[in-house]
Amino acid sequence: MARNTRLAAVVAVTAAAALALSACAPAGEEDATDAGAGTVFMLASGADNPLEGGVLGFVRDEVAADYGITIETRELQDSRILNESLAAGEIDGHVAIHEPYLGIVLAGETSWDLAAVAPIYTSLVTLASTKHDTIEALPQGALIAIPDDPVNGAAALNVLQQVGLIEIDSSVKPAAYTVQDIVKNEKNVTFVPAGAAQLARSVEDADLAFLPTSFLRAAGYDESVEVVTMSFPDEYAIQLVIRGADASDANYKKLIEAFKDPRVADYVEAEFGDIATGIRE
């Protein structure tokens, strides 16, 4: 399989990849929507993520006014803090995670009422290496770095099956794939689970690493390390996430429609087409 190959097939997996006034008032004060303002939203993205931050900035500057709303933006350190801040009412929404991952979060935080309401883009994912040009070139006993969370770990195994490196028990659902479900591993590869921050470093250390293509770019790698690159399916799109109770509010409906505006998908592909694909409804 040649370097830089783009696979068109959809990955059927549960899959990559983070202080100002909020529209919702702090605890004990009147909510801005109830007070009649209702058009100012504080939205957040992961710190130092140019794609997430770029999308928020574009909607804020180029789209929001057409829907009669105002957006303010901020960065928070990671998805854990983003979700905690949203559940606590400190922000009104964020752009950082896909729906399958949100499901894992809510299973562990049953009191949180968070909802994915507008798919924005799908990330590209890459099998990357500084040591090998093709899957076939991997040696016996190769070390392969995969995400250590179950959602994206299953995604990695699905991709590795698609490229012919392993075979997984057909009775197991793709969303539940684990290394224990591998029934064929002719190269006897060893899987090394790694956190998001370690995956980019694994490109140098392991024989092969599975990670969002955006992680590669953020770490300074170009296409020369890409062995295989493919897109996640639409159901694993990065979403606008808000509190579920707000989804039926008229002003929040305007916010949702702003993120579904086709100009947002156009922006993603014009500015970040090498790492993401915009969603159009």
The 3 state secondary structure assigned to 87-100 is HCCCCCEEEEEEHH
DSSP, collapsed to helix, strand or coil, labels residue 141 as: coil
Helix (H, G, I), strand (E, B) or coil at 195: coil
Average pLDDT score over the chain: 86
Among 261, 6, 273, which Cα is nearest to 118's?
Answer: 261
- The reported pLDDT for the residue numbered 4 is 39
pLDDT at residue 235 is higher than 80: no
| pLDDT tens-digit readout, 16-56 | 333 232 333 333 333 434 333 348 999 999 987 889 999 99
- Is the model's pTM score more than 0.85? no
CATH of domain 5-11+124-233: 3.40.190.10
Among 41-45, 106-110, 211-215, the range scoring the smallest mean pLDDT is 211-215
Q: What whole-number distance in Å separates Cα of residue 281 and Cα of residue 277?
A: 13
What is the H or E stretch that residue 11 is in?
A: none
CATH 3.40.190.10 residue ranges of the chain are 5-11+124-233, 40-123+235-278
What CATH number labels 40-123+235-278?
A: 3.40.190.10
